[in-house]
Amino acid sequence: MEVGPKVESKNSEQCLRGIYSYCTPNINRQSAKTLREKPRAGIMLYLRRLFSQELSPAAQTDFLGCLQQAPHLLTNGFAGSQALESLSWLHNLAPCFPLRGDQIHVIHEPQHFYDTLVQRIAKAKKRIVLASLYLGTGQLESAFVQTLRHSLQSESSLRLNVLLDFTRGTRGDLNSKSMLMPLVREFKEQVQLSLYHTPDLRGMTKRLAPPRWNELLGLQHMKVYLFDDAVIISGANLSNDYFTNRQDRYILIEDKPLADFYAQLIGRVQEFSLAVSPDATEGLHPNWRILPYEGTKQEFIQLARKRISDFVQETYKRQSQVRDLQTRADTWVFPLLEMGQIGIHHDSVVTKRLLSSCIAGSRLKLATGYFNLTQEYMDTITHECLAQCSILMAHPNANGFQGAKGPAGGIPAAYTLIAKSFYESLVRRKQNHRVNFFEYEKPGWTYHAKGLWYYLPESRLPNLTLIGSSNFGERSVNRDLETQVCLVTTNTDLSQRLQAEADRLYDLSQTAEREIVRRAVPRWVQAVVRIFRNFF
């Protein structure tokens, strides 16, 4: 990763004038003089100000307040299970999809994840919906695309909707978009490819921020893979590492109402994303009228937020009416969304409530590929959570950024520094006896699994899990589009399978408090981590 954009000398004055006009209202005289007299230094000053500024969240509507206006809220919505009464507040904060534990399949290995994707694509008859950060460009990804082609050829009624991130999906000459363009051209009526473009990347920032750097401002990070009436919720992307030796979590749920929910959710996000045409140009979706990087940013945000909020509220009301009819249910799925860029904070509110409501005698296992918990989460674990907590994260050797060129190579050390700071805070507040740290390390593998397992008092198996794309960090809450599901169950077989999933991850970890404290962190990482913490 380069430190900043390359600017040819002959274009310096032109770039300078643009930056100067963009920044002048908000800078002092000395900074303005730097912009005028030293173009390269001026551009670096601008980028430093851009990437060090605190995020200004989009104006929020009372998203959860609207949900709570439903007329019938249950004291305990988990039929036949008084043990789950302490979790009944979930029914007031998210749509609920009741089902049975045997409709849920836990996937453990990357290869099994890939095989399941390919098998489900080959069998799909009506719809395939793929939402990911990006699609890789290797041999496995090419075979994946060929499987999509064969299914589209054999089923003329099959529809394929793909949602990826614009900046990540168009990085380089060979990229996610170019991998999928043959399908867009060949199956014009069957395929819709959409690229989400953050409304924060606009104006001079869009023109000057180089590849990779432009990804810092916000991404489409949801991982949803849907085939007819089954949906995989995961944190894994569609690329070689995630198919071979990058450990993540994956859960397959066979339930038409939930699949319909996610198909419609992705469809709504596609409306305010860029639509890719057969000629490879990107433009507006037929149902949309404002490009994310043109016009008024606030208008775009308001319209996008309304499309998502209205949909979730409609789903909440509908599911509240059918919830009591599912008398055979032993498992309840609550889909959670986080879209901070457009003012929707849902998953983070539910996660904080869960952390703060953990009762005495309970246990909590929390996993993240990148340890950068929000300050609010760390404060909640420290001061409000009563559970015994085990936090699992990647050892530097299992971090995907280990050995990367440029500033990215310092990211593993930054995570160590943040974990060390949190641990030392726990020690000062005499809470370190209740919170333990573990680091995952498997030779030749990297670690990307995230989520949470919650055990009520006296329970040796998890009663609840969170699984999805969120890393519980600043990016997840404020910058990226995220989704995960909160799954509550009384099904013993499913709880055993979830326990086996957690055991597989923790069995490859070691206690890490001593290593975290002793591990050296380069001075330059210590100097910049506070500035860039909101971006990784």
386 phi and psi angles, rounded to 5 deg: -105, 0
Active site residue 448: no
168 dihedral zone (left: phi>0; alpha: psi -120 to 50; beta): alpha
The residue annotated as part of the active site, out of 91, 177, 197, 223, is 223
- Distance of alpha carbon 56 from alpha carbon 106, whole angstroms: 38
d(CA 200, CA 385): 35
263 three-class SS: helix
Closest CA to 75 of 94, 90, 97, 96: 90
Q: 514 — phi, psi (to 5°)?
A: -65, -40
CA–CA gap between residue 442 and residue 393 (Å, rounded): 12
**Contact (Cβ atoms closer than 8 angstroms) between residue 61 and residue 343:** yes
Strand 363-367, strand 344-345: pairing: unpaired
d(CA 330, CA 78) in angstroms, rounded, equals: 8
Question: What does the buried/exposed string (b/e) look like for 84-123 if buried means 16 or more CB atoms within 10 Å of the residue's CB?
Answer: beebbebbbbbbbbbbbbebbbbbeebeebbebbbebbee
Question: Which residues neighbour 244 within 8 Å (Cβ) at sequence distance 6 or greater?
Answer: 110, 111, 114, 140
Active site residue 206: no
434 and 457 in contact (C-beta within 8 Å)? no
Does an H or E element contain 54, and which? none
Q: Give me the catalytic one of 165, 200, 228, 255.
A: 228
Q: Is 228 a catalytic residue?
A: yes
Residue 399 tokens read as 């971090």
Task: Name the residue type at position 140.
Answer: L
Catalytic residue among 91, 197, 221, 450: 221
DSSP 345-400: E-HHHHHHHHHHTPPTT-EEEEE-SS--B-HHHHHHHHHT--SEEEEEEE-GGG-T
Tell me which residue has tokens 């793929």.
130
| Catalytic center residues | 221, 223, 228
